Amino acid sequence: MSFECQFCKKSFKREKTLAVHLCEQKRRWINRDEKYVRLGFLAYNRFYEITQGATKQKTYEHFTKSNYYTGFTRFGKHTLEINAIDPERFIDFVITNSIALDKWCSDAVYETYIRELNKKETAERAIERGILLMQQWSRENDRPYMYSLGKLVGLVLSIGSNQVALVHGSFLIVIVAVHLLHH
């Protein structure tokens, strides 16, 4: 009688030996619920969704047999180690920007991601700030809020065609809001 490893098909005379046997495929199966593996697996599925329009999720078994298993799980480990902001967004960032898998763990890639994140959040925060100032102006001047909101929307529309202008426009909104406060 012999005992066979279901992952690598190697056979052993004793069940005890099989129990302590560890091959690469078995190791990948044992690690399936580790956080870094789950992140790698998530990225693997997003990769197929985004680049190939896959609608069906790949199975974990498919992932363990992939040549890219190590690359994706290394990336999972990396996102945990650096405590990446919004890991799912970071995953989509590296994929949509067509960055090669072996570059995903580089500092430069994460720095670029953070810069883009800041750019977007600055514009959003600035608009929010602008609206708050308008509301304050309406209260203090007893004028309808819609009046100042109309001015803000007009401004956003006029600069909205240009993303860079939108970012720099954040300062304009504040300037306009301050201007309105004094009239």
Q: Which stretch binds Zn ion (CB under 5 A): 8-16, 109-117, 141-149, 159-167?
A: 8-16
Largest Cα–Cα distance in the chain? 94
Residue number with CB closer to Zn ion (25 or 136) = 25
Residue 145 is a binding residue for Zn ion (CB under 5 A): no
Residue with tokens 């810069």: 115
Distance of CA 104 to the CA centre of its chain: 12
Residue number with CB closer to Zn ion (8 or 100) = 8
Whose CA is closest to 180, among 143, 153, 154, 128?
Answer: 143
Considering the complex, what minimum distance in angstroms separates the CB of residue 100 from Zn ion? Answer: 31
Q: Which stretch binds Zn ion (CB under 5 A): 19-27, 71-79, 86-94, 129-137?
A: 19-27
DSSP string, the chain: --EE-TTT--EESSHHHHHH---HHHHHHHGGGSHHHHHHHHHHHHHHHHHH---SPPPHHHHHTSTTHHHHHHHHHHHHHTT-SSHHHHHHHHHHTT--GGGTT-HHHHHHHHHHHHHHHHHHHHHHHHHHHHHHHHHHHT--HHHHHHHHHHHHHHHTT-HHHHHHHHHHHHHHHHHHHT-
Considering the complex, what minimum distance in angstroms separates the CB of residue 5 from Zn ion? Answer: 3
Considering the complex, what minimum distance in angstroms separates the CB of residue 22 from Zn ion? Answer: 7
Residue number with CB closer to Zn ion (23 or 175) = 23
Considering the complex, what minimum distance in angstroms separates the CB of residue 36 from Zn ion? Answer: 22
Residue number with CB closer to Zn ion (29 or 68) = 29
Of the residues 2, 4, 8, 144, which one makes contact with Zn ion according to CB under 5 A: 8
Considering the complex, what minimum distance in angstroms separates the CB of residue 126 from Zn ion? Answer: 57
Of the residues 2, 14, 19, 23, which one makes contact with Zn ion according to CB under 5 A: 23
Considering the complex, what minimum distance in angstroms separates the CB of residue 7 from Zn ion? Answer: 4
Using CB under 5 A as the criterion, which residues of the chain lie in contact with Zn ion when the complex forms?
5, 7-8, 23, 26
